[in-house]
């Protein structure tokens, strides 16, 4: 069953509504030569010997009013021989620049509230050319000159616009056209990544060989992929990790019939139990259940914190309590630091960002996307189709995330019924267990990352680089301690 009218219930969004009423500003930025996008003099940046580019790619000719913002890091060594990898954060509405690039796996991390960037020893651009995209319009610095577009967002628009972005980006960077290409992402990118892979895959069949995108596979982490199992896993995880009572766990199963296909007709009892469930996470970080929450008064930002993943499971989107969840990382105040950093005018100038002078501040998760009008309840058929089509697909899970927990992903993979090729086993990062891994017939691998929260590279940077490296080379994760 397809889901329509899944609303983002971001109740504190009056500023966004106000922006929507502003008169249209017709500003268009050319998708010029890549040299114009070269980043030099980024405030606080440590010196490096690789190039990075940032700027806009507009979606013309048909949708010239839209432009998507990217930040691209060439690989640290042998850039031309390395794969090209797109990273997408979720939300919907959250920025791959503020999260993926600046907090998780990029070379420059915003780790303090000062202006300095920290060099990340475990940046994924050690292994690949890394492209971070803010999609769809309304996310981060990506924009539209027609605010009507902000009311028509959903999974399909996102994948179509992201494809157009990619086609146009390759016109700027034609030298990467023949490199192996991979998609990666986390959280609600469990929708974006398979969906974008599918439109690339389908397009590749229709266009001449030299127009094809050399897509080889994708990797998604703590990914929302199947609403019913995601929901069941969410509730079971909270119980097995001692966050909710026996009674609430049992009541959720009995009143919400979690294992059944979801409908929008929920009983009052179910809704009450969901409310209680959400409140059970009020006091801790659902994205990393064993780390502290940010309590620093320095971290308060102008806009209220919103969750990184709000749309799925849809049961929860009937209620407005998800936006009460603290959104946190390893240093739980990091998110506020990135918000401060990317709102700096000198930073924006250096990144060629915000050239249209957006009438709202930069926020890690969008403050202007008010609804999400289209999303399927499952992407498992898409994943199945692409596995059959020969793509390499790795699914990973930081096992201390409560939001899209490892139980959800296990239920979802089980639902696909893949044949086990190499059974469940430990994998090692250097001398300690990095997590567990199971390999299935047809190119599917599932790997956990031990002790890592929702944003895996934040909590297990070295392990995540090992995982990424083995995904790219399609080699088994290390099975021995030494």
Binding site for a second copy (CB under 8 A): 236-237, 240-248, 280, 282-284, 289-290, 292-293, 295, 397, 399-400, 406-407, 410, 414, 420, 423-424, 426, 428, 431-433, 435-436, 438, 448, 450-451, 481
Q: With beta carbons less than 8 A apart as the criterion, state whether 412 and 225 touch.
A: yes
197 or 456: whose CB is closer to a second copy? Answer: 456
CB of 455 to a second copy, least distance (A): 17
60 or 478: whose CB is closer to a second copy? Answer: 478
Catalytic residue among 401, 408, 412, 470: 401
231 or 248: whose CB is closer to a second copy? Answer: 248
CA distance 369 to 347: 24
Q: With beta carbons less than 8 A apart as the criterion, state whether 225 and 378 touch.
A: yes
139 or 444: whose CB is closer to a second copy? Answer: 444
132 or 396: whose CB is closer to a second copy? Answer: 396
CB of 133 to a second copy, least distance (A): 30
CB of 446 to a second copy, least distance (A): 10
Q: Give catalytic status of residue 479 as yes or no.
A: no
CB of 288 to a second copy, least distance (A): 10
CB of 119 to a second copy, least distance (A): 25
Catalytic residue among 352, 454, 464, 470: 454
90 or 435: whose CB is closer to a second copy? Answer: 435
CB of 414 to a second copy, least distance (A): 6
Q: Give catalytic status of residue 429 as yes or no.
A: no
64 or 414: whose CB is closer to a second copy? Answer: 414
Catalytic residue among 187, 299, 303, 314: 187
Q: Give catalytic status of residue 187 as yes or no.
A: yes
Nearest to 69 by CA among 143, 130, 171, 170: 143
- SS3 string of 160-202? HHHHHHHHHHHHHCHHHCCCCEEEEEECCHHHHHHHHHHHHHH
CB of 318 to a second copy, least distance (A): 24
- SS3 string of the chain? CEEEEEECCCCCCHHHHHHHCCCCCCCCCCCCCHHHHECCCCCCCCCCCCCEEEEEEEECCCEEEEEEEEEEECCCCCHHHCCEEEEECCCCCECCHHHHHHHHHCCEEECCCCCCEEECCCCHHHCCEEEEEECCCCCCCCEECCHHHHHCCCHHHHHHHHHHHHHHHHHHCHHHCCCCEEEEEECCHHHHHHHHHHHHHHHHHHCCHHHCCCEEEEEEECCCCEHHHHHHHHHHHHHHCCCCCHHHHHHHHHHHCCCCCCCCCCCHHHHHHHHHHHHHCCCCCCCCCCCCCCCCHHHCCCCCCCCCCCCCCHHHHHCCHHHHCCCCCCCCCHHHHHHHHHCCHHHHHHCCCCCCCCCCCCCCECCCCCEEEEEECECHHHHHHHHHCCCEEEEEEECCCCCCCHHHHHHHHHHHCCCEEEEEEEEEECCEEEEEEEEECCCEEEEEECCCCCCHHHHCHHHHHHHHHHHHHCCCCCCCCC
85 or 289: whose CB is closer to a second copy? Answer: 289
CB of 405 to a second copy, least distance (A): 9
Any idea which residues carry the catalytic annotation? 187, 401, 454
């Amino acid at each position: 069953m397809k889901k329509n009218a899944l609303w983002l219930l971001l109740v504190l969004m009056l500023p966004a509504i106000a922006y929507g009423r502003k008169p249209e500003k017709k500003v268009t930025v050319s998708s010029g030569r890549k040299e114009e996008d070269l980043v030099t003099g980024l405030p606080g940046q440590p010196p490096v010997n690789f190039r990075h580019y940032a700027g806009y790619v507009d979606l013309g000719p048909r949708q010239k009013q839209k432009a998507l913002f990217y930040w691209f890091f060439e690989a640290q060594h042998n850039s031309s021989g390395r794969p090209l990898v797109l990273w997408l954060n979720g939300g919907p509405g959250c920025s791959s620049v503020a999260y993926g690039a600046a907090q998780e796996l990029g070379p420059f991390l915003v780790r303090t509230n000062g202006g300095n960037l920290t060099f990340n020893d475990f940046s994924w651009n050690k292994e690949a050319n890394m492209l971070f995209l803010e999609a769809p319009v309304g996310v981060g610095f990506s924009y539209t000159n027609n605010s009507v577009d902000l009311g028509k967002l959903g999974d399909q628009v996102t994948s179509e616009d992201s494809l157009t972005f990619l086609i146009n980006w390759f016109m700027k960077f034609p030298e990467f056209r023949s490199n192996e290409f991979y998609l990666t992402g986390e959280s609600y990118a469990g929708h974006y990544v398979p969906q974008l892979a599918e439109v690339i895959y389908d397009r590749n069949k229709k266009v001449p060989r030299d127009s094809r995108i050399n897509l080889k596979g994708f990797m998604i982490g703590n990914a929302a992929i199947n609403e019913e199992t995601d929901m069941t896993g969410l509730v079971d995880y909270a119980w097995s990790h001692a966050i909710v009572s026996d009674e609430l766990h049992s009541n959720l199963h009995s009143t919400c019939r979690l294992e059944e296909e979801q409908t929008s007709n929920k009983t009052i009892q179910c809704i009450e139990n969901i409310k209680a469930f959400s409140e059970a996470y009020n006091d801790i970080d659902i994205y990393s259940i064993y780390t502290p929450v940010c309590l620093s008064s320095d971290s308060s930002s102008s806009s209220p914190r919103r969750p990184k993943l709000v749309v799925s499971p849809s049961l929860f989107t009937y209620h407005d309590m998800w936006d009460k969840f603290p959104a946190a990382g390893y240093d739980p105040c990091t998110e506020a630091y990135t918000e401060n950093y990317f709102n700096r005018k000198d930073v924006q100038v250096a990144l060629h960002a915000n050239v249209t002078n957006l009438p709202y501040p930069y926020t890690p998760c969008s403050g202007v996307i008010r609804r999400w009008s289209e999303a399927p309840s499952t992407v498992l058929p898409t994943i199945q189709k692409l596995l059959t089509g020969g793509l390499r697909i790795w699914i990973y899970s930081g096992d201390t995330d409560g939001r899209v927990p490892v139980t959800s992903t296990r239920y979802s993979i089980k639902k696909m019924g893949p044949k086990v090729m190499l059974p469940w086993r430990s994998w090692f990062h250097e001398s300690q267990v990095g997590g567990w891994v199971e390999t299935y017939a047809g190119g599917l691998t599932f790997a956990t990352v031990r002790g890592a929260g929702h944003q895996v590279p934040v909590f297990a940077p070295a392990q995540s680089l090992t995982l990424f490296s083995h995904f790219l080379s399609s080699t088994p994760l290390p099975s021995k301690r030494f």
